[in-house]
Amino acid sequence: MEPLGSEMIEHEQDQTVLSRLVGCWEGTLLHRGAADQPFQELPGTSENRWVLGGRFVEMTLRAGDTWSAVFYVGHERGERRHVLVSLEPGERRVTTRRGEWTPDRDRLVLTSERSRAVCDATSPGQLMLELSEDDETGQEFVRFRGEYRPAASAARVPSPARQIRRSVIA
């Protein structure tokens, strides 16, 4: 069993990594449903907030009335890796990806069997999201790319409440 102190340090590191995604963002989205389709360029938003007591960041992405998705990014402590669950209601898709931070580049790279998602916060004041998938021949193609900056009308998003561990001594 890990000592309580190291568990708290790990929790704080997880929140530091995830906190880079939190906030209200606006920018340009490129989206296509298949490799042989052209990209649609759309203005879009990403509203990202802490959920589940600060264990996950909920990312609500919108591109007008044509496309939307909800991502949940969190950390699996037992396996020491990040997880991304994406819900795309228009296409009725639910995908789970697992991965690690690449600490030297401030990038969160998450993979699943036939896809890869990248959250890049390398440049201050910018957020880049990219989703790549394999087509039917196994070739990877970029399905979605969003380049965001803080929204002009963005309100400050509060940090999650710090977890408090309580023990009963009998």
pLDDT band at residue 169, thresholds of 50, 70 and 90?
A: low
Four-CA torsion 69, 63, 58, 154, nearest 10 degrees: -170
Confirm if 73 and 56 have CB atoms less than 8 A apart: yes
Whether residue 161 lies inside any domain: the answer is no
Query: Are the CB atoms for 129 and 122 separated by under 8 Å?
Result: no
Asked whether residue 158 is assigned to any structural domain, the reply reads no
Question: Could you list the residue range(s) of the whole structural domain that residue 85 is in?
Answer: 4-150
The closest of 111, 151, 152, 147 to 132, measured between CA atoms, is: 111
On whether residue 93 sits in a domain, the answer given is yes
- Please determine, for residue 70, whether its predicted confidence score (pLDDT) is greater than 80: yes
Question: Residue 142 maps to which CATH number?
Answer: 2.40.128.20
In angstroms, rounded to a whole number, what is the distance separating the alpha carbons of residues 157 and 49? Answer: 7
Residue 116 lies in a domain: yes
Using CA of residue 144, residue 63, residue 71, residue 150, what is the dihedral sign?
positive
Q: What gap in Å lies between CA 121 and CA 165, rounded to an integer?
A: 31
| Residues 13-46: tens digit of each pLDDT | 556 678 888 999 999 999 888 899 999 999 999 9
Using the predicted structure, report yes or no on whether residue 101 has a pLDDT greater than 90.
Answer: no
Q: Tell me, what's the pLDDT at 11?
A: 47
Q: Kindly state whether residue 63 falls inside one of the protein's structural domains.
A: yes
Name the domain count of the chain.
Answer: 1
In a domain, 168, yes or no: no
